[in-house]
């Protein structure tokens, strides 16, 4: 059976945006990336002309991508609903208000009109010829993620064994590799039951939207799960994760203390070698996004 897509999903494919947070649209996300890039450009120092030019180029690219998404959405909607002689085919349950275009016809239309190649998505986890396999696909509710000392991560899917990685493996460390980047700081904050974004804002800022998109990408890289790891944003809770997230860093202290009780003291040993950065602050990461 040929996969059908909403216009939003179709446009996301054409501009290579593989994730849209629940409650957002493809245009609200391209606009968020544009606003974030614009703010960084406007706040940059005029003394560093090379950095300024790089930020200007980024801003212009984000603007062009946003405009491309807007034009593609309008063009696809017109062809799907109003144009008689069109390459676009719609599913039987399609309506004029919500056209559902087939993936095959979208691929042909996108290449014919714009030279855009749509990646082959027919093997996605959302469609499988074996219903028994579909019922066993894991979801984020099956996932447990633990943060250990030393910026290490462990994750378990269902009743499977824990697997291990590091913040660096999934792009959560800063450029100097000494401490987490902003996205890593958000994950630590969430593990400590802190709200993201902080404060009581009516809606998430563009910086918060792009941050949660980047964090989701890191979590996909860690676990291999490609659906949305977060519930839709709400004012009371912010972005809440669907998986179980545990800050396990301080347990390293307890394990070291228990180990020390059962062996004689040896000053050549470091019983606490595994507990560096136990008190890494995370509020600063969340507050910076909240103030943007």
- Gyration radius from the chain CA atoms: 23
Local confidence band at 202 (pLDDT 50, 70, 90 cut-offs): confident
Confirm if 38 and 59 have CB atoms less than 8 A apart. yes
Q: Is the pLDDT of residue 259 over 90?
A: no
Omega of the bond leading into 197 within 30 degrees of 0 (cis): yes
What is the DSSP track for 232-268? PPBTTTBS-BSSEEEE-STHHHHHHHHHHHTS---TT
> What is the band of 20 on the pLDDT scale with cuts at 50, 70, 90?
confident
Instruction: Please report the pLDDT score of residue 166 as a whole number.
Output: 95
Give residue 273's pLDDT band: very low, low, confident or very high (50, 70, 90).
Answer: very low
Q: Count other Cβ atoms within 10 Å, centred on residue 99.
A: 20
Whether the pLDDT of residue 185 is over 90: the answer is yes
- The tens digit of pLDDT for each residue in 203-246 reads 889 999 999 999 998 999 999 998 889 999 988 899 999 999 99
- pLDDT higher than threshold 90 for residue 151: yes
Interstrand relation of 4-6 and 100-102 (parallel, antiparallel or unpaired)? antiparallel
Least confidently predicted of 65-74, 107-116, 132-141, 163-172: 132-141
Q: Which of 213, 154, 204 is nearest to 183 (CA)?
A: 213
pLDDT of residue 258: 55
Q: What is the mean pLDDT of the chain?
A: 82
């Amino acid at each position: 059976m040929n996969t059908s897509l909403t216009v939003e999903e179709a446009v996301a494919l054409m501009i290579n945006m593989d994730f849209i947070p629940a409650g957002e649209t493809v245009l609200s996300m391209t606009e968020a990336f544009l606003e974030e890039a614009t703010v960084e450009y406007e706040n940059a120092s005029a003394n560093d002309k090379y950095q300024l030019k790089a930020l200007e180029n980024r801003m212009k690219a984000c603007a062009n991508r946003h405009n491309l998404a807007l034009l593609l959405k309008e063009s696809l909607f017109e062809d799907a609903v109003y144009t008689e002689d069109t390459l676009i085919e719609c599913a039987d349950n399609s309506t004029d208000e919500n056209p559902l275009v087939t993936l095959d016809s979208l691929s042909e239309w996108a290449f014919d009109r714009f030279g855009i190649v749509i990646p082959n998505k027919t093997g996605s986890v959302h469609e499988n010829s074996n219903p028994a396999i579909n019922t066993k696909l894991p979801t984020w509710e099956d996932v447990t993620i633990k943060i250990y000392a030393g910026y290490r991560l462990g994750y378990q899917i269902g009743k499977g064994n824990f697997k291990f990685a590091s913040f660096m493996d999934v792009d959560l460390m800063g450029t100097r590799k000494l401490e987490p980047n902003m996205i890593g700081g958000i994950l630590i904050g969430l593990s400590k039951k802190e709200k993201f974004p902080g404060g009581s804002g009516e809606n998430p800022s563009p910086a918060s939207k792009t941050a949660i998109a980047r964090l989701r990408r890191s979590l996909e890289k860690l676990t291999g799960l490609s659906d949305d790891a977060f519930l839709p944003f709400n004012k009371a809770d912010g972005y809440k994760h669907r998986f179980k997230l545990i800050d396990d860093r301080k347990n390293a202290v307890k394990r070291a203390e228990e180990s020390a009780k059962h062996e004689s003291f040896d000053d050549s040993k470091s019983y606490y070698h595994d507990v560096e950065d136990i008190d890494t602050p995370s509020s600063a990461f969340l507050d910076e996004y909240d103030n943007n």
